[in-house]
């Protein structure tokens, strides 16, 4: 071989190797590096998936727990802000117990005493919250890896194959969750599931929202509206009593928009005392109509407004009461109490033990479907 040609080839190889070793990891608008979400567990791989629209909205999703990691939307001045809590690497999601952004399954919220009866068979579930089963148990889907079925610039579909006996729930169940960023700055979430045995299912998204874009601020100044004149009161361990009670004249009344902090510390009211703030299910009056607003959240600091739409009968509102400053999230920020609020669209808690409430039973040949849309805009009051 010609000496000059050989030297040139060697030089090209060295340049290629140098570039390969010093490549810059892909960086999202929210400041997340994709390399920090690459891992392998039990033969399954995790990654970070970046969804966008043409207006600059960006949503980052990891298939570990089917989690929303970041949501970037414009504030009243046009600056993009991240409005959800989370971690900036998959290791923290794996090692620090949390529900940040997760696709919860099989059963979101609580099942009393970790027990329910279906077709005469009693099922005993793991107990991980005051003697009850919460969010599918200690090894719920938020701690498992979803398969990536398909992904595009603005959408991703994740699949969970849950075997019979998964956290003691019956039936081999296949569930899908699809996240889609729309042209009008909305995040649409669609759930579907099928089973080969009678089972129960109740999926939701557990994003922690802080619409100020700065989780150093609490959410007590956020203005909240809930399209619900009733809620399901709970006992001391947050299990519904079975009643459906009017919100009128109580701290639970958000039929007229008000700041979350207005009544959140009114511990003379038993439900606030039991929940250490808000951690309750509201009975929506939307009747499954996706065109009717179920709830609205607004930050007077950023001007960001989020409208929630769902075909579910209820919405659980949790005001971050148990965040306690021990968890460090994205950009090294420590999450303090009430640094965020969750708006979880779902069936009512403990529905498997309340046959008079909308059913959560899924049978072979049926398809479970659920929808939730978080639509973002700006408003100046």
**Spatial CA neighbour of 30 closest among 83, 72, 87, 65:** 72
- Catalytic entry in 58, 167, 188, 344: 344
Which residues lie closer than 8 Å to 96 by C-beta, 6 or more apart? 87, 327
Q: What is the dihedral of CA 269, 270, 275, 280, to 10 degrees?
A: -80
Please provide the distance, in angstroms rounded to a whole number, between the alpha carbons at the two ends of the chain: 76
**Spatial CA neighbour of 278 closest among 322, 311, 308:** 322
How far, in Å, CA of 368 to CA of 214, rounded?
36
Contact by Cβ (8 Å): 347, 200: no
Which residues lie closer than 8 Å to 59 by C-beta, 6 or more apart? 50, 51, 52, 68, 70, 71, 72, 179, 181, 187
Active site residue 206: yes
Q: Is the dihedral of CA 147, 149, 155, 160 positive or negative?
A: negative
- Catalytic entry in 132, 206, 222, 347: 206
Active site residue 124: no
Instruction: Provide the annotated active-site residues.
Output: 206, 344
């Amino acid at each position: 071989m010609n000496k000059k040609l050989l030297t040139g080839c060697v030089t090209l190889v060295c340049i290629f190797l140098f570039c390969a070793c010093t490549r810059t990891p892909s960086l999202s608008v929210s400041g997340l590096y994709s390399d920090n979400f690459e891992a392998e567990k039990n033969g399954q791989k995790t990654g970070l998936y970046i969804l966008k629209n043409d207006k600059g909205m960006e949503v980052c999703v990891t298939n570990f727990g089917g989690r929303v990691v970041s949501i970037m939307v414009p504030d009243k001045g046009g600056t993009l802000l991240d409005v959800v809590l989370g971690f900036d690497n998959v290791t923290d999601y794996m090692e620090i117990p949390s529900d940040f952004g997760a696709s919860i399954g099989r059963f979101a919220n609580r099942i009393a005493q970790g027990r329910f009866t279906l077709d005469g068979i009693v099922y005993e579930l793991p107990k991980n919250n005051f003697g009850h089963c919460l969010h599918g148990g200690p090894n719920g889907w938020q701690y498992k890896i979803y398969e990536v079925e398909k992904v595009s610039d603005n959408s991703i579909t994740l699949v969970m194959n849950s075997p019979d006996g998964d956290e003691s729930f019956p039936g081999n169940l296949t569930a899908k969750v699809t996240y889609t960023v729309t042209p009008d700055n909305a995040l649409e979430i669609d759930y579907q599931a099928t089973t080969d045995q009678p089972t129960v299912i109740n999926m939701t998204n557990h994003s922690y929202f802080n619409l100020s874009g700065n989780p150093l601020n609490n959410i007590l100044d956020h203005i909240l509206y809930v399209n619900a004149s009733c809620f399901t009161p709970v006992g001391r361990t947050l299990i519904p009593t079975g009643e459906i009670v009017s919100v009128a004249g109580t701290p639970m009344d958000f039929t007229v928009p008000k700041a979350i902090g207005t009544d959140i510390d009114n511990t003379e009211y038993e439900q606030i005392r039991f929940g250490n703030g808000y951690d309750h299910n509201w009975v929506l009056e939307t009747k499954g109509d996706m065109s009717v607003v179920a709830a609205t959240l607004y930050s007077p600091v950023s001007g960001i407004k989020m409208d929630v739409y769902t075909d579910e009968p209820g919405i659980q509102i949790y005001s971050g009461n148990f965040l306690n400053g021990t968890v460090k999230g994205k950009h090294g920020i420590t999450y303090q109490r009430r640094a965020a609020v969750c708006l979880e669209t779902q069936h009512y808690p403990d529905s498997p033990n309340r046959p008079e409430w909308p059913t959560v039973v899924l049978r072979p040949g049926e398809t479970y479907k659920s929808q939730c849309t978080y639509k973002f805009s700006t408003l100046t009051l």
